[in-house]
């Protein structure tokens, strides 16, 4: 069964840093584009970052460029989102998601349960 499990979310002060992890099982992450998305409390979904299946290309939304870094450890089948200079408006549930192929714009066909980041 294809599964994703995020961890690492917690309460952090503005300006602080945090690393989120997402362990994948049931498939090999190197074969797929993978993404991080988020949802602020009571708000809609928001795309954050995507890495292509080859890992050769990584994309970020404007508001996190220069602050967030998306890493993939193919040996551990794990994704990471390093978050620095955190702001109050980064507060959200962060989801990792698998895309249908290795092509970055592809739909998100599997989502994790999410991990909560609170910046306060």
Q: Give contact residues for other proteins (rule: CB under 8 A).
A: 44-47, 50, 59, 61-62, 95, 100, 104-109, 111-114
Which is nearest to 99 in space by CA: 44, 29, 48, 20? Answer: 29
The rounded distance, in Å, linking the Cα atoms of 80 and 29 is 12
Cβ 13 to other proteins shortest distance, Å: 26
Cβ 75 to other proteins shortest distance, Å: 26
The rounded distance, in Å, linking the Cα atoms of 16 and 26 is 34
Nearer CB in complex with other proteins: 56/107: 107
Cβ 38 to other proteins shortest distance, Å: 11
Round the CA-based radius of gyration of the chain to a whole number and report it: 13
Nearer CB in complex with other proteins: 17/65: 65
Nearer CB in complex with other proteins: 29/114: 114
115-119 and 11-12 strand pairing: parallel
Cβ 44 to other proteins shortest distance, Å: 4
Neighbours of 97 (CB within 10 A): 21
């Amino acid at each position: 069964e294809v599964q994703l499990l995020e961890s690492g979310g917690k309460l952090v002060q503005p300006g602080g840093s945090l690393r989120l992890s997402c362990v994948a099982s049931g498939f090999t992450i190197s074969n797929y584009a993978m993404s991080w998305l988020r949802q602020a409390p009571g708000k809609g979904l928001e795309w954050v970052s995507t890495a292509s299946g080859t890992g050769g290309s990584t994309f970020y939304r404007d508001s996190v460029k220069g602050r967030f870094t998306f890493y993939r450890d193919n040996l551990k089948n794990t994704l990471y989102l390093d978050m620095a200079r955190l702001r109050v408006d980064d507060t959200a549930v962060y989801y990792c998601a698998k895309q249908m192929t290795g092509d970055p714009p592809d739909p998100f066909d599997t989502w994790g349960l999410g991990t909560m980041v609170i910046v306060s």
